[in-house]
Structure formats: structure tokens, C-alpha cells
Chains A and B, each alone.
Chain A
């Protein structure tokens, strides 16, 4: 090996060692773990208790169903909202643009526990602002934490609130890369602003939106903090229990590491699969 290569690897070594010890090794080890029966010492090779159980465990299927419902409902709503938001944030008519952009980005910066606490307060069934507001305009109050559907809606709203601005900023960068003169040409082509949005802006934003969708799919597949903190560990019952939460409960409540590892690998595989599907569906056609 050449001298300068040795020096370079010398500088990289501390990082590579830590990466190997705390990243690569756990990934490999947890894969091995997913084939072990870990309820009793000594751990024994028995995939039936992990991968086998996965297939027939109604709790797993419930968590998977909840996760997919959130994915299918929340991601499209949030991306649509983020796109509209990005267009608004890009508007020359908007005052204090820098401040607005920061404001919509800010939820990502706020700690999860803090924002979860605020959501719990706002949606509190007796004292919360939302139910008070609903009552004020004559609508029935909603049992946000005791109705399965309402709890699911609450999770979806919370996640959307937290990540819409973040995605909007990414989409905004895509918007800004579309040259003005393309719109001027369209204006001279007598294309209305609304049609310009649908026939020029959206198609040109497709790669950026696809990127946001893939990020959001990965994020939602791992969704943990909101059901854990806002709806009391996936409540009511296990109506908002997600795969991430199910994994946590199996691994760190029940201490069934083998089974939790199998769940973890399933989550990762599903995230990759859905992302690939997205990229295939949104591929550039010749």
C-alpha cells in the first residue's frame, strides 16, 4: 500500500473502528439473533419462534396494518401539503419569507417529547383546545385518545405537522431550480398559472417529490415516538401500535431479542421494498 494511503487509513481508523463495532456488528449480530429462541438461557437456534411466529402473530399483523394505514393516508397528505406549502413559500407575494421558511421548518428542531406533550394537551379530551374549539362551533367533541379511529387520526396529524415543513423546504429547493424563463415561455404560450403548476411545475418536481416520498416511507415504517408518547404506547388498546413500537415492546419490555430482531429486519425489508416500488413507479420514462 502506498504511503499516503496508509496515512489516510490511519486518520480514518478511529471512525471505521467505531462504525464497525456499533454499526456493522450489531446489524450482522441482530440478523443472527433473529434465528434464535431468546426467551430462556441458553439461547438456541429456533427460527420457528421468531420468523415462524411472525407469520402467525396477530399482534404483528395489527402493527403492520396500523403502520401501512398511516403510510397510505399520511404520506400522500403530507407530501401534497408540503408541495402547496413550498409553492407558497416560494411566492414573491409572501412577506418575511426567511422567517416563514424557518417557522415551517421549526417542528423538526423541536424535541419529540416536548411536541408530544403539547399535542397531548391540545387534544386532551376534557381540557384540550381542539375539543373546546369544536364545541364552540357546535361540533361534537372527539375522544382523541379512546377512539381507535380518532387516535389514528391524531397520530397522522401529529406526524404531518412535524414533517410537512421539512419536506416543503426540500421541495422548495426543487422549485427554485426551475428557471423563471420556462414560466415566462409558458405565459407567452397562453398557459394559465394553474395549468403551469400541473403541467410544468409538478412534472419537473417529480424527482424531488419522489425523494421526499422515499424519505417519508422510511420514516413512517420506523414510526415510534408519536404512538409511544402521544397515544400512550399505541393506545387505545393497540389501535395505534406501529411496527416500530411493536419492535420496542418485544425487545425491551418482553426482552425477546430474537423476535424483535426478526421484526426489525422485516421493517427494513418493507421500507426498502416500498421505496423501490416508489422509484419504479416514478422512474424517468424515455
Chain B
């Protein structure tokens, strides 16, 4: 078990910077998820921690030891790959024990570790099969098993569930969560799926274009994002963003006019209000949009598409100026396309961002 520290870690290929200086402290036993859109550098960062990619500058330490120049094999980490990367010509048992056998680990200890991993992952029945005779979910279990037998200080997962179907993904998510609580090892998990991030992580690191946008506990990111990118990335369906213009202050609040809403005005309590006339963006999550009259700023909308999921309904609507707004409503099968509906934004749940996407507080 080990804590992990990144200090000003950078990566560039020639003149192209991929990772722009990442600072991060990961506590012993913590489950940290790197999340971000494709190409944000999250996998590269993980591979740099693993030692499969060199770092251009900065410092990575694992368990208090700087590992910049330590070979991947000696870093005390184990990695689970997106494509499983199983040895195709070996049985499950051989896959699990290969690394230990190659390093002259005593036979009895190897057998014990393999048996334990098989038990944890419930793959005992598959031990003599080859990877090609396994389903995707089983292969991923074997890949995780191979990581477990190494008894690493840090587990690294590189999008391990993205090749699985939706149902299996949910199931494996639960298993990985259970694995973490059983082993208590530090785990770093890369995904582009914010649901995985929200459900698995102790802490989430949101990355965009090689920069850390925000680090925090899942609900902290959900409730208190530092910028519009994080606000939009965390949460599904994503947060609604409405173009606004600062009008001025009134009492302790700042008045914003929603420019695409025909003059609707919302007042948000901000400590540092922007200057009147400045452009802004008001964010409200679909689940926070209230029925007309129940909030602080009523909006008339035209319904485009309604998705009725049974327990809840998502209404995809547009303002008069064509700005899309998604509303999560209690189960109702009343709403039909083309219908006019009225909703309201509760000021307490709304967030304000400046024109650059930074949060206004």
C-alpha cells in the first residue's frame, strides 16, 4: 500500500504538450478516478505513473520514493488494460501465474496467490480455459486477477470496462468497488464515463486538454464545480447552460437577464458580482428545474422530445430563441412533442459562470 504524489508532471511529444504540469496527492488506499473527454491525456497520465511513458519533467513518487527513473516493473504497480492484454496462448491459470513464475517466486506462494485471486474474482471454474474461450467480462476478471496476484501497492485501471456491454459494465463496476473495499489498495482508474467516475471514486480528477480542471469528491464536483466544463461534464443528462447578461445588483443578489428567454430575470447571491453588461452563463441541472411557479424564474418552453423511462421522464425542450433545455420531471406520460410547457429555475440551485467559463461566486 502506498500514497502517490505528482509534482508539476509534464509530458510533451516534440513541441506538442500533452500534459501541462499536473500536481496531485493521492492518499494510501484511496480510489481516485481520472475522468475527461477523449484525448484529454488521462490515459497518458496513467501510463506515466505506470512507467510505460517517460515524463518530460516533474516528479512522480509512489510510497515516498521518487520513481521517475525506476523501471515500470519495479514501481510496485499493477495495471489492467482496456483491451485486457491477456497472453492469448496461456490458460487463465498460466496468465495469472506467469509473472510470478518468470521471477522465480516459490511455487507454493504462487499457487496460493493465484487461488486467492481466483476466489476473489470467482473465476475458479475458468482456470484451464484460454482467453479466447472467455466472454468479455470473464477476460476482464482475469486481467484484474493478474493484477491482484502481483499484490501491488497501487492498482492502475485504464478504461477497463469500455469494451463491455452496458449491463456487464454496471456489474463489473460493482465488483471493482467491492474489490477496493476488500483489498484496501490505492487504485487509480481512468474512464471517460462520468457515471463510472461518480460511482467508484473517493475522489475524481477532471482533466481537459492535459490540465487538471478540478479535484474533489464526487458530490463536491456535482454540487460545487469550479467551472463550466466540470459542471457540464459531471452529471447526466448534462447541466443546462443558458446565455445571460449581468444587469446589476439588487439587495445581496446579482441580477442576470436570460438573453434567449425573452427578458426573464434571475437573481443569484454572489460575493463578487460581475460588472453590469458583462456576458455570463447560468447553469441549472435537469433534475433541479422546478415546475412553473415553484422556482424563482419562470421559463416558457416548447417540448421537442420526451423520454419516459418509467421512474422519471426527460423532457428535451427549447426556449423561444431555440436554446435547448433538458428537464427531468417526475414520471408523467402526459407531455407530447410540440406541447408548450412552463418550468421555473430555483435560484438556490442555479450556478453562474463568466464568459470564460469560470464559476462566479
Number of interface residues of A (CB under 8 A): 18
- Given A204-B88, A204-B89, are A187 and B83 neighbors across the interface (CB < 8 Å)? no
Is A187 a contact partner of B52 (Cβ separation < 8 A)? yes
Are B98 and A179 in contact, with the CB atoms below 8 A? no
B-facing residues in A157-193 (Cβ within 8 Å): 179, 181-182, 184-192
CB atoms of A182 and B85 under 8 A apart: yes
Tell me whether A203 and B85 are in contact in the complex, defined as CB-CB below 8 angstroms, given that A188-B72, A188-B73, A189-B102 are known contacts: no
B103 touches A188 (CB 8 A): no
Residues of A within 8 A of B87 (CB): 182, 185-186, 200
- Out of A179, A181, A195, name the residue touching B102 (CB < 8 Å): A195
How many angstroms from the CA of A160 to the CA of B246 in the assembled complex? Answer: 81
**Interface assignment of B150: CB less than 8 Å from any CB of chain A:** yes
Q: Is the CB of A188 within 8 A of B83?
A: no
**Most chain-B CB neighbours within 10 Å: which of A188, A199, A200?**
A188
**Could you tell me the distance between the alpha carbons of A190 and B87 in the complex, rounded to whole angstroms?**
14
Contact B81 A189 (CB under 8 A): no
Complex-state Cα separation, A188 to B50, whole angstroms: 8
Give every chain B residue within 8 A of A204 (Cβ-Cβ): 88-89
Are B79 and A185 closer than 8 Å at their CB atoms? yes
Q: Tell me the bound Cα distance from A188 to B74 in angstroms.
A: 8
Name the residue on B nearest A286 (C-beta): B130
Cα distance A187–B70 in the bound complex, in angstroms: 13
Inter-chain CA distance A191–B50, complex, in Å, is: 15
* B99 is an interface residue with CB less than 8 A from chain A: yes
| Smallest CB gap from A191: residue in B | B102
Return chain B residues, CB-CB under 8 Å to A182: 85-88
Q: What chain B residues lie within 8 Å of A187 (beta carbons)?
A: 52, 72-73
The reply to whether B83 and A190 contact each other, CB–CB distance below 8 Å, is no
Contacts A188-B73, A188-B78, A190-B73 given: A199-B98 contact, CB under 8 Å?
yes
Across the interface, which residues of B come within 8 angstroms of A203, CB to CB?
A: 89
A-B contact count (CB 8 A): 60
A178 nearest in chain B by CB position: B88
> Which A170-228 residues have a C-beta within 8 angstroms of B?
179, 181-182, 184-192, 195, 199-200, 203-204, 206
Fill in one digit per residue for B69-105: 1 if any A CB lies within 8 Å of its CB, else 0: 0001110011101010111110000000011001100
**Using Cβ atoms and an 8 Å threshold, which residues of chain A touch B10?**
none
B81 and A181 contact, CB distance less than 8 A: yes
**Nearest Cβ in chain A — how far from B287, in angstroms?**
39
Give A188 to B103 CA distance when docked, in angstroms.
Answer: 12
Q: Known contacts A188-B73, A188-B77, A190-B102; is A179 also within 8 Å of B85 by CB?
A: yes
Contact between A185 and B103, CB atoms less than 8 A apart: no
Chain B CB within 10 Å — which of A184, A186, A189, A190 has the most?
Answer: A189
Docked Cα-Cα span, A192 to B79, in Å, equals 17
Q: Is B257 an interface residue (CB 8 A)?
A: no
Residue in A closest to B102 when the chains form the complex, CB atoms: A191
Please name the residue on chain B nearest to A182 by beta carbon: B85
**Is B139 interfacial (CB-CB < 8 Å)?**
no
Q: How far is B97's CA from A199's CA once the two chains are assembled, in angstroms?
A: 13
Q: B83 touching A189 by the CB < 8 A rule?
A: no
Which residues on the A side are within 8 Å of B113 (C-beta)?
A: none
Is B146 an interface residue, CB under 8 A from the partner?
yes
Chain B 98-118 near chain A by CB (<8 Å), digits 1 or 0: 110011000000000000000
A184 in contact with B81 (CB, 8 Å): yes
Bound: A204/B86 CA distance, A: 12
Residues of B contacting A206 with CB < 8 Å?
89
- Contact between A184 and B102, CB atoms less than 8 A apart: no
Q: Least Cβ distance of A181 to chain B in Å?
A: 4
Chain A positions 130-165 with a Cβ under 8 Å from a chain B Cβ? none
Contacts A191-B99, A199-B98 given; does A181 touch B50 at CB 8 Å = no
Shortest beta-carbon distance, B43 to chain A, in Å? 11
B81 and A185 contacting across the interface, CB-CB below 8 Å: yes
Beyond A181-B83, A182-B85, A185-B146, whether A199 also contacts B102 by CB under 8 A is yes
A200 vs B95: C-alpha distance when bound (angstroms): 11
Residues of A within 8 A of B72 (CB): 184, 187-188
Shortest distance between the CB of B100 and any CB in chain A (Å): 8
Query: Which residues in A have their C-beta under 8 angstroms from that of B78?
Result: 188
- Chain A residues with CB under 8 Å of B83's CB are 179, 181
11 contacts between A and B (CB under 8 A): A179-B85, A181-B81, A181-B83, A184-B52, A186-B87, A188-B52, A188-B77, A189-B146, A191-B98, A195-B102, A206-B89
Q: Which residues of B contact A (CB under 8 A)?
A: 50, 52, 72-74, 77-79, 81, 83, 85-89, 98-99, 102-103, 146, 150
9 A-B pairs with the lowest CB-CB distances in the bound complex, closest first: A189-B99, A181-B85, A190-B73, A185-B85, A203-B89, A191-B102, A181-B81, A182-B85, A190-B103
* Chain A interface (Cβ < 8 Å from any Cβ of B): 179, 181-182, 184-192, 195, 199-200, 203-204, 206
Known: A181-B83, A188-B99. 18 other contacts (CB 8 A): A181-B85, A182-B86, A184-B72, A184-B79, A184-B85, A185-B146, A187-B52, A187-B72, A187-B73, A188-B50, A188-B77, A188-B78, A188-B150, A189-B102, A189-B150, A191-B103, A199-B102, A206-B89
